[in-house]
Amino acid sequence: MNGLLVIVNVIVLILAIILLINMQKKHVSFSKRVFTGMGIGILLGVIFQAVYGTESEIIAKTMDWFAIVGTGYVRLLMVIVIPLIMVSIIRAIINLEKTKELGKMAGWIIGTLILTTMVAALVGIGSSWLFDLNAEQIEAGHAEAERGESIEAMYADMEGQTTPQRILDFIPSNIFEDMTGGRATSTIAVVIFSIILGIAVLGVRRKNPEQADLFIKIVNSTYTVVMRLVTLILRLTPFGVLALMTNMVATTNFAGIIELGKFVLASYVALIVMFMIHLILVSGFGLNPFTYLRKAFPVLGFAFTSRSSAGSIPLNVQTQRESLGVDEGIANMSASFGATMGQNGCAGIYPAMLAIMIAPTVGIDPFSIGFILQLAVIVGISSFGVAGVGGGATFAAIIVLSSMGLPVGLAGLLISVEPLIDMGRTALNVNGSMVTGTITSRVLGNFNTKIFNDKNATTETDGF
């Protein structure tokens, strides 16, 4: 009987996919298809949970099939991340007139990411104060205790590594290993290697233009093929969002969310406030925030459902280039750096809120000026120091809490609502990188305002 029900659930998935395919054939916009996939996913998730329950064996087996579409899509995105980063950054640097433009570009991107993360920390502190958050209000069960022990074990592994040593890990020693994603810092290592290679090509072009031209032709040809590959995979976005959203809703522990409702609400209030600050920044640089939001929403929707900043890089880059009018090199660099450092949600709001919650348990006043200033500075530093590390939010929290002299194990108290909060954090991380790219391109004078204001200039994959 269980097997038959699983088959029925899979047939429902197939029917939903057929619906999205028919929408594509009728040339329904990419954004509308993504929203439709998200809506169907929410509906199916609610139905599955209501009928079977979160702990049901049927749900587990059904989600295994849904993972072929959802997780499979994320894996395909991850496959193209490294080639996209390499060829796009090399090509962008080759097109620079002066190498000093690269320094300005990197400086603005990194500076904006770190600064907005420190602002995000202050927003998290404010939300914690508003909702009077305190870790002592949470009753620790078996799952929370196990999560706390796991976090303490992570801290034991990290304790001997300083921030300079973590930054040193960014520098590639074997680019082929990093191209396979063999290290936690592989993505940023590939970015650094691509920048160096691009600068080298500029030098060769001055001394031996014929050889440089040959290499540039190869890069341009490779770029064309890679972008075609990106387009093919991005066409699958509505299907991936459908499956990922269904899995999230069907397996979410809503009882735990109700129990910790205040902490979930406080987290999302902080995320929304920081998101509004992003829109204010966009407006401050002379751009319509509503136009930005409309064009960025498909990327944010995917980031929300996938909980993957790295997996969002291809869609992030394409949206910045084709919809927002951001310079190609800046789009690639901001998306790549934004997935590995200065994450407003995971490295800003989350560890700051945890620190405020946990401080009273050891007799510290979390709202003293000294504590708040110290926390904001440490968050800014650690958001750079944990760049590229898998499970970034957890590692950022470990570094911040340990630096503030707070018990890291208490970070496990929110395990039951962690997935739901992480969805919002990831969307904010990705939005931070897109805003950073938009601002940087605007400041450096290579922003295409015509594309930004063009209502038809959206991330549409059907025309390729």
For the stretch 129-179, pLDDT in tens is 998 888 766 655 545 566 666 666 665 655 566 667 777 877 888 888 888
- What percentage of the chain reaches a pLDDT higher than 90? 28
Average pLDDT in the chain = 84
Q: For 235-309, where are the alpha helices, taking DSSP H only?
A: 237-251, 254-259, 261-284, 289-306
Q: For residue 351, which phi and psi values (nearest 5 degrees)?
A: -65, -30
Asked if residue 320 lies in contact with residue 452, where contact means CB atoms within 8 angstroms, the answer is: no
Positions of the chain with pLDDT lower than 70, given as ranges: 1, 97-99, 136-163, 184, 253-259, 385-392, 410-416, 457-464
Q: For residue 264, which phi and psi values (nearest 5 degrees)?
A: -65, -45
Name the packing angle between helices 418-443 and 261-284 (round to 10°). 10
Asked if residue 418 lies in contact with residue 304, where contact means CB atoms within 8 angstroms, the answer is: no
Is the alpha carbon torsion for 111, 116, 119, 125 positive or negative? negative
* Domain ranges, ordered by start, for the chain: 2-453
Q: What share of the chain is helix, strand, coil (3-state, %, to 5)?
A: 80, 0, 20
CA distances (Å), 147 to each of 164, 386, 389, in order?
A: 28, 20, 19
The pTM is what?
0.81
- For 2-453, the fitting CATH number among 3.30.930.10, 1.10.3720.10, 1.10.3860.10, 3.90.550.10 is 1.10.3860.10
Please state, in angstroms and rounded to a whole number, the distance separating the CA atoms of residues 380 and 398: 14
Q: What is the pLDDT of residue 205?
A: 86
